[in-house]
Amino acid sequence: MKGSIRIDSSLCKGCGLCVEFCPNHVIEIGTQRNGMGYFYAIPKKEIRKSQDENGCTGCTLCALMCPEVAIEVYREKR
């Protein structure tokens, strides 16, 4: 299944749980700080540039792990 994610950077506290638990390693902590001063998580470059080949399977693990409920997961209908 193909999926994609959207991370609300204003909610993220940069804990890294989503990065650690994504089985496909498609999330990273970026180099920008949000309004609270945290380096926030972002989808890796490949997931951002292409919805077709982004490596995300829409498994929802990242969203389930996020203590700030900052991640939304979208799944492609087949």
Q: Among residues 35 and 56, whose Cβ is nearest to ligand SF4? A: 56
User: Which residues are CB-neighbours of 15 under 8 A, at least 6 positions away?
Assistant: 67, 68
Q: Counting contacts by CB under 6 A, is residue 3 touching ligand SF4? A: yes
The DSSP-derived string for 6-39 is EE-TTT-----HHHHH-TT--EEEEEEE-TTSPE
Show the binding pattern over residues 20-49: x = contacts ligand SF4 (CB under 6 A), - = does not.
--x-x-xx------------xx--------
The least CB distance from residue 56 to ligand SF4, in Å, is 3
Q: Counting contacts by CB under 6 A, is residue 73 touching ligand SF4? A: yes
